[in-house]
Amino acid sequence: MRVVLVSDSYLPVLGGIELHVRDLAAQLVGAGHSVAVLTRTPGSADPVPGVEVLRLDRADRLSGFLAAADVVHVHSSVVSPFAWRAASLARALDVPALVTVHSMVSHGAALPMAVALRRASATGLRWSAVSRAVAVPLSRTVGAPVGLLPNGIDPTDWRACHTRRVEAPGFTVVSALRFAARKRPIALVRVLADLRDRLPEDVPLRAVLVGDGRLLPAVRRKLAATGLADQVELPGRLDRTGVQQVLTGADAYLAPARLESFGLAALEARCAGVPVVAMAASGVTEFVRHDVEGLLAADDADAARLLHVLATDGERRERIRRHNAGTEPRVTWPLVLAETVRQYAAAGAPVGVTV
């Protein structure tokens, strides 16, 4: 079948949605489908073999591309006007459409989505979310059932980080994030400062914060104010190879966002064998169970406490590391691809799948 994937943002922008759409396109092509990506992101990126990328500067150019699709798969964040327009057009054209929401959607934040799609359009679409934390409030907003369709991963891409592990003195915390308010990079620095104060003097703290964004200057100022500037590295944005290199030296991965809808970077760290500390109310709980793949925190002070537990309890840290490195998560690509095709069938696509 011909699948059209729609996302406001796409490569060369690096982020969870952009990488997921790229990888999903590659998986669909590998399964024998024809795939096009429609985006309003300009520029170019390394092409995915067999995937057509159409960069449209106006949403009114969407109709012709959508009409030729067997199914339209729309990928939405909190504010995604290009994607929402595609969803409404697909509904009007009577083309089977699945909308996957990748962000935590509170009632207030969901208002633009509800207005853009209108209740009649929303209830005529198939809805999915990357985690239960997203699905529950989203269902209330759109007035329709919401399925679960998580991001996918190939663990073999990350397992080598465990086998190439680099031992270093002290305790190393890694995080990869966009330096934006929703990801809470300033709070992350506060957690690190709290952790440093809890650690014994003979356990030096080191941290690597991968990423870039508007709040990077504020993070630098906060590091200086807390006396952490010499202990925290800021390498900027890194590709997957660069992130994998950083994870080889990690003792723990910290995901500080409360509104983390899924946490692809945390999933990558988990597959690399790194124990993950994340917020208990976030979407990271799709693949991290407390004291199994990592530790789940109630708040920032609890996150610092749990990092201290990992730093001082080597037996627990290594138990979690061995489990993560030797156990596949439930969101590997074969499972996610099968569920994606099942959702396409449920939306009305001609895929020959019994739902």
Question: For 27-55, what is each residue's pLDDT tens digit?
Answer: 999 999 999 999 999 998 888 999 999 99
- In the chain the beta strands, taken as DSSP E runs, fall at 2-7, 34-39, 51-55, 71-76, 97-101, 126-129, 146-148, 171-176, 205-210, 232-236, 252-255, 276-279, 294-297
pLDDT tens for residues 194-218? 999 999 999 999 999 999 999 999 9
What is the number of residues in the chain? Answer: 355
For 2-152+332-347, which CATH superfamily applies? Glycogen Phosphorylase B; (3.40.50.2000)
pLDDT at residue number 142: 79
Mean pLDDT of the chain: 92
DSSP string, 268-293: HHHHTT--EEEETTSGGGGT--BTTT
For 156-326, which CATH superfamily applies? Glycogen Phosphorylase B; (3.40.50.2000)
Q: Where are the domains of the chain?
A: 2-152+332-347, 156-326
Q: Say which range, 101-105, 171-175, 225-229, 313-317, has the weakest mean pLDDT.
A: 101-105
pLDDT tens for residues 338-353? 999 999 999 999 987 5
pLDDT tens for residues 118-133? 655 666 789 999 999 9
Residue percentage of the chain with pLDDT more than 90: 79
CA–CA gap between residue 262 and residue 283 (Å, rounded): 4
Rg (CA), the chain: 21
Q: Is the pLDDT reported for residue 320 higher than 80? A: yes
Q: Is the pLDDT reported for residue 106 higher than 60? A: yes
Q: Please indicate whether the domains covering 2-152+332-347 and 156-326 agree at the CATH topology level.
A: yes
pLDDT tens for residues 71-94? 999 999 988 989 999 998 999 999
pLDDT at residue number 105: 73
Q: Is the pLDDT reported for residue 141 higher than 70? A: yes
Query: In terms of C-beta distances under 8 Å and separation of at least 24 residues, what long-range contacts does 212-217 make, across chains too?
Result: 212/178, 212/179, 212/236, 212/237, 213/178, 213/179, 213/180, 213/183, 213/185, 214/179, 214/180, 215/179, 215/180, 215/181, 215/185, 215/186, 216/179, 216/185
pLDDT at residue number 325: 95
- Report the predicted TM-score, pTM, of the whole model to 2 decimal places: 0.91
